[in-house]
Chains A and B, each alone.
Chain A
Amino acid sequence: MTTAPSLEISGLAYAYPDGHQALFGVDLTVGRGERVALLGPNGAGKTTLVLHLNGILAGGVGSVTVAGLPVEKRNFAEVRRRVGIVFQDPDDQLFMPTVREDVAFGPAAAGLRGAELEERVQGALEQVGMAGFADRPPHHLSFGQRRRVAVATVLAMRPEILVLDEPSSNLDPASRRELADVLRSLDVTVLMVTHDLPYALELCPRAVILSEGVIAADGRTQDLLCDEPLMRSHRLELPFGFDPRSVHVA
């Protein structure tokens, strides 16, 4: 397949229609198979950045390419297949009457039918350990289960890069760990927006800090989390009693 990085963002700046400037020139490259945490305080522009990755927001300055393909209107269909975004609230993401139909939505929109479609759906549900729930309506699942199904809905599209907006929010510790196991088991590039710093450390060898619309730091997650002045200057705080130095990461 391609050797281009999964994601290449350069000089991306964006102002919302009301004039509020949210991004001021973001540069970020994510290689194939990398797992990168995108950290930053509330209002830093993380969600704004994520919405640029598949062209939902556009019209600013700069460029985004996904595995060599520029995110432009004429490529939207392919880009949206390659970039799988898992939104924060699974109730927004799961809009079909049954889990199976929801997971099938993306691949079916891309033209898959019949046995091939069925196989995709089964495969994706198995990857997140939800194969037994295919015929359930999403609103009868627990929050953690819905989050996992939301991940399956984008996995079914065989994305080049999986983008998760706050994957661990609202999960109990067991669901949080189960989701971590799922994410670790996937063989796909991951960009994970999170406020959960221990989670970032656990899952992502590399982290970037987005602050006031620019990438303020980029490095090994452990190094960033251990750099107290850096963390403080970007309103990032570790949970009480958590010492990133004491964690052994691969």
Chain B
Amino acid sequence: MGAGHAHKLYRHGHSPVHRLPPHCKLAAAFAFVLVVVSTPREAVWAFGLYAVLVAGVAAVARIPAGFLLRRLVIEVPFVAFAVLMPFVAQGERVDVLGMSLSVSGLWGAWNVLAKGTLGVAASVLLASTTELRALLLGLQRLKLPPMLVQIASFMIRYGDVVTDELRRMSIARRSRGFEARGVRHWGVLAKTAGALFIRSYERGERVYLAMVSRGYAGSMPVIDEVTATRTQWAYAAVLPVTALAVCLMGWTL
């Protein structure tokens, strides 16, 4: 598989988690998130156990805690939202440090925080152990509509080309003495966006010609088939199945 496409979230390694086939990991992460989301929020201890599970997977994957925590900052906007909830929610109120907070708001905030953090942590783990290319192959294997997978892989392939084009246009603008300062210059920026759109559209046409010239007739040929053995599926299932057990306990206790 490609050593390229080392995206920012990916952390190169050879751990057992890295080696698992991408579609197993995708399915496991997705199932784990489902289980976490369906756990009752009052079962606080269950979320503690989930966190331990995630930490366990991170340890097996040899992803340092610092790496994981730093990538969790994507979550910050949601945290802000959660923090607001106890202040704005209605209903019964309690006093904490002299502030009057809504009880249901506190539970709501906890719910969003705990489930969000676990979901993001699982996704970050997935992303840091799976290359972008492998993720796409995995999605394809999991029968995501082929059109979506194709669009995503073209985004990866042409993202750099398009940003490069944008950069060149900006250099060309500035070389002719243009600096975007304030509202009066937005017109020029809009024209740049328009030009970029047309260029990308035309490139799309040329790429399509090149594809047709090499025998493309509507569907991408399967070049890399990702496969998984039963054992690999079993390994991948450890996380969601354990989590499911915790979840069931959370409902019954």
What is the interface of chain A, defined by CB distance below 8 A to chain B? 51, 54, 56, 77, 80-81, 83, 85, 87, 89, 91-93, 95-98, 100-101, 104-106, 108-110, 113, 117, 135-140, 153-154, 157
* Assembly CA distance A98 to B160 (angstroms): 14
A77–B214 alpha-carbon span in the complex (Å): 9
Q: Is the pair A56, B213 in contact by a Cβ cutoff of 8 Å?
A: yes
B177 within 8 A of A: no
Q: Verify A135–B213 contact, CB threshold 8 A.
A: no
Shortest distance from the beta carbon of A155 to any chain B beta carbon, whole Å: 11
Q: Are B154 and A95 in contact (CB under 8 A)?
A: yes
Give chain B residues whose Cβ lies under 8 Å from the Cβ of A139. Answer: 157, 160-161
Q: Is the interface of B mostly helix, strand, loop or mixed?
A: helix
User: Is the pair A80, B206 in contact by a Cβ cutoff of 8 Å?
Assistant: no
Interface residues of B in 31-56 (CB under 8 A from A): none
Q: Which of B194-216 contact A (CB under 8 A)?
A: 203, 206-207, 209-216
* Total residues of chain B contacting the partner, CB 8 A: 31
B133 in contact with A97 (CB, 8 Å): yes
Residues of B near A85 (CB, < 8 A) are 210, 213
Is B223 part of the binding interface, using a Cβ–Cβ cutoff of 8 Å?
A: yes
Chain A residues with CB under 8 Å of B212's CB are 56, 80
Q: Is the Cβ of B2 less than 8 Å from the Cβ of A97?
A: yes
Q: B3, B153, B223: which contacts A136 (Cβ < 8 A)?
A: B3
Given A97-B153, A108-B221; A92-B213 close (CB under 8 Å): no
Q: Determine whether the beta carbon of A54 is less than 8 Å from that of B203.
A: no
Q: Which chain A positions have C-beta within 8 A of B207?
A: 92, 95
Distance in angstroms between the alpha carbons of A87 and B133 in the assembled complex: 25
Q: Decide if A135 touches B4 in the complex (CB within 8 Å).
A: yes
Closest A residue, CB atoms, query B165: A91
Inter-chain CA distance A140–B160, complex, in Å, is 10
**B223 contacts A117, C-beta separation under 8 Å:** yes
A108 to B221, CA, bound (A): 6
Known: A80-B212, A98-B2. A92 touches B156 (CB 8 A): no
Question: In the complex the two chains form, is B217's CB within 8 Å of A109's CB?
Answer: yes
10 A-B residue contacts at CB 8 Å? A85-B210, A85-B213, A97-B132, A98-B4, A105-B221, A106-B215, A135-B1, A137-B4, A139-B160, A153-B214
Question: How distant is B28 from chain A, measured CB to nearest CB, in Å?
Answer: 24
Could you tell me if A110 and B215 are in contact, using CB atoms closer than 8 angstroms? yes
Do B4 and A87 touch (CB < 8 A)? no
Given pairs A81-B215, A95-B158, A108-B223, 7 additional interface contacts (CB within 8 A): A87-B213, A96-B153, A96-B157, A105-B211, A105-B223, A117-B223, A135-B3
A136 near B210 with CB under 8 A, answer no
Cβ contact within 8 Å between B2 and A137: yes
Whether B214 and A157, one on each chain, are in contact in the complex, defined by CB atoms closer than 8 angstroms, is yes
Check B179 for interface membership: any CB of A closer than 8 A.
Answer: no
Near A by CB (< 8 A), chain B positions 1-37 give 1-5
B209 contact from A56, A101, A105, A113, Cβ within 8 A: A56
B224 contacts the other chain (Cβ, under 8 Å)? yes
Residues of A within 8 A of B216 (CB): 105, 109
Q: How far is the CA of A131 from the CA of B222 in the complex (A)?
A: 21
What residues on A are CB-neighbors of B132 within 8 Å?
97
CA distance A88 to B4 in the complex (A): 25
Top 4 nearest A-B pairs (CB, nearest first) are A108-B221, A109-B215, A137-B4, A106-B214
- Do the beta carbons of A93 and B210 come within 8 Å of each other? yes
Asked whether A101 lies within 8 Å of B214 as measured between CB atoms, the reply is no
Bound Cα distance A87, B132 (Å): 28
Chain B residues with CB under 8 A of A91: 161, 203
Min CB–CB distance A70 → chain B (angstroms): 18
State the CA gap A91–B168 with chains docked (Å).
16
Q: Which of B1, B5, B214, B222 has the most C-beta atoms of chain A within 10 angstroms of its own C-beta?
A: B214
Closest chain-B Cβ to A177's Cβ sits at a distance in Å of: 25
Interface membership of chain B positions 149-172, coded 1 if the CB is closer than 8 angstroms to chain A and 0 otherwise = 000011011101100000000000
Q: Which residues from A are CB-within-8-Å of B215?
A: 77, 80-81, 106, 109-110, 157
CB distance B206 to A137 under 8 Å? Answer: no
Chain B contacts of A110 at CB under 8 A? 215
Task: Give the distance in Å from the alpha carbon of A77 to the alpha carbon of B206 in the complex.
Answer: 19
Partner of B223, one of A95, A101, A153: A101
**Nearest chain A residue, comparing its CB with the CB of B222:** A108
- Chain A: minimal CB distance from B155 (Å): 10
Contact A51 B4 (CB under 8 A): no
**Nearest residue in B to A108 (C-beta to C-beta)?**
B221
Give Cα distance in the complex from A137 to B210, angstroms: 18
Q: Let me know if B157 and A97 touch, CB within 8 A.
A: yes
State whether A105 and B214 are in contact (beta carbons under 8 Å apart), knowing that A97-B156, A98-B133, A137-B2 are contacts in the complex.
yes
